């Protein structure tokens, strides 16, 4: 295993400065959501565009608090970085400001369709971690086409993936954390340290879990979102060989198994224009 190291706020901001894809974490009336969006950095804030009818477009902007996560991870060599931005998200209402964004640095969505709502997330904090060597820069891409993924295919993606992002809400706002996991007996299971404070927020709560595979060259990929209930597993409950063989990528004592039992599984596929 390799040791993760913390980034300074300046280093974290530099890593996410190229336009790219990130994940917006929101707490809506029906629980936490993780939504992949294309973005740009404008000053000390994240700017993105979305549909007025989607999860983000219909979000209660007065709730405000949000988290935004960007990462580049090399699964084969187990290296990369993750940056998390926290702050209060709001809709950009001023017409002059929208015009300035559109002309100077428009966050062009990958997915087609009418995405006329502009959102801004000025960060109150920005943190990051690196495992191994830093990854390459991101590059903006042209729009593709989104379509829903059937439930059985969503489960197949969950079975095949090994890295996902768990999102939940704590007293300071939404949180998104990358973890490696296994899909076992219809549940997401990952390992972490019982000494980490946020773990106990998840003891009997709700969470969202997102996995994806996006190709920036072909403008294609997929994302699957799980919403469900969280439980800590007792050692006697860890009977599956896949769960027993689960080894966290990051070093350190990570003896606690956490399970997310889905109440909802949805997915979307992004494909290039034909």
pTM for this model (two decimals): 0.54
Classify 110 as helix, strand or coil: coil
Residue 256: C-alpha distances to residues 182, 192, 234, 236 (Å)? 14, 5, 8, 12
Tokens encoding 124: 């109150």
pLDDT for the residue numbered 274: 59
Binned at pLDDT 50, 70 and 90, residue 138 comes out as very low
Domains of the chain from N-terminus onward: 4-271 (2.30.110.10)
Query: What whole-number distance in Å separates Cα of residue 5 and Cα of residue 17?
Result: 20
Q: Is the pLDDT of residue 156 over 50?
A: yes
pLDDT at residue 53 in the model? 81
More confident residue, 85 or 55: 85
Enter the tokens of residue 132: 């191994």
CB 208 within 8 A of CB 166: yes
- CA angle 161/166/172 to nearest 5° reads 165
Angle formed at CA 15 by CA 11 and CA 17, multiple of 5 degrees:
115
Each residue's pLDDT tens digit, 15-65: 898 778 899 999 887 788 898 988 999 989 999 988 888 888 788 877 778
- Quote the strand ranges of the chain, DSSP E: 4-7, 20-28, 31-41, 45-50, 65-74, 79-88, 90-91, 117-131, 145-148, 163-170, 173-184, 187-192, 206-215, 220-233, 256-271
pLDDT of residue 135: 43
Q: How far apart are CA 189 and CA 31, in angstroms?
A: 19
Q: Which residue has the tokens 């209402």?
A: 93
Q: Are 192 and 246 in contact (CB under 8 A)?
A: no
């Amino acid at each position: 295993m390799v040791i993760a190291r913390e980034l300074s706020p300046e280093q974290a901001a530099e890593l996410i400065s190229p336009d790219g894809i990130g994940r917006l974490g929101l707490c809506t009336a029906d629980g936490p959501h993780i939504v992949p969006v294309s973005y740009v950095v404008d000053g000390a804030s994240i700017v993105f565009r979305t549909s007025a009818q989607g999860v983000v477009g219909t979000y209660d902007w007065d709730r405000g608090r949000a988290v935004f996560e960007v990462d580049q991870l090399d699964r084969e060599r187990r290296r990369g970085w993750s940056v998390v931005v926290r702050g209060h998200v709001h809709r950009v209402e001023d017409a002059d400001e929208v015009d300035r964004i559109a002309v100077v640095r428009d966050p062009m969505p990958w997915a087609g369709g009418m995405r006329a709502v502009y959102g801004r997330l000025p960060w109150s904090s920005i943190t990051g971690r690196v495992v191994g060597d830093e990854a390459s820069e991101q590059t903006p891409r042209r729009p593709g086409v989104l379509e829903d993924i059937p439930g059985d295919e969503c489960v197949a993606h969950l079975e095949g993936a090994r890295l996902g992002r768990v999102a939940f809400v704590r007293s300071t706002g939404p949180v998104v954390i990358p973890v490696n996991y296994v899909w076992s007996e219809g549940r997401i299971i990952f390992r972490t340290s019982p000494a980490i404070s946020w773990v106990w927020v998840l003891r009997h709560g709700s969470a969202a879990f997102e996995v994806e595979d996006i190709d920036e060259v072909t403008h294609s990929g997929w994302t699957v979102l799980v919403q469900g209930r969280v439980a800590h597993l007792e050692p006697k409950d860890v009977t599956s060989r896949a769960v027993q063989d689960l080894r966290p990528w990051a070093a350190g004592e990570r003896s606690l198994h956490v399970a997310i039992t889905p109440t909802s599984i949805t997915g979307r596929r992004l494909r290039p224009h034909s």
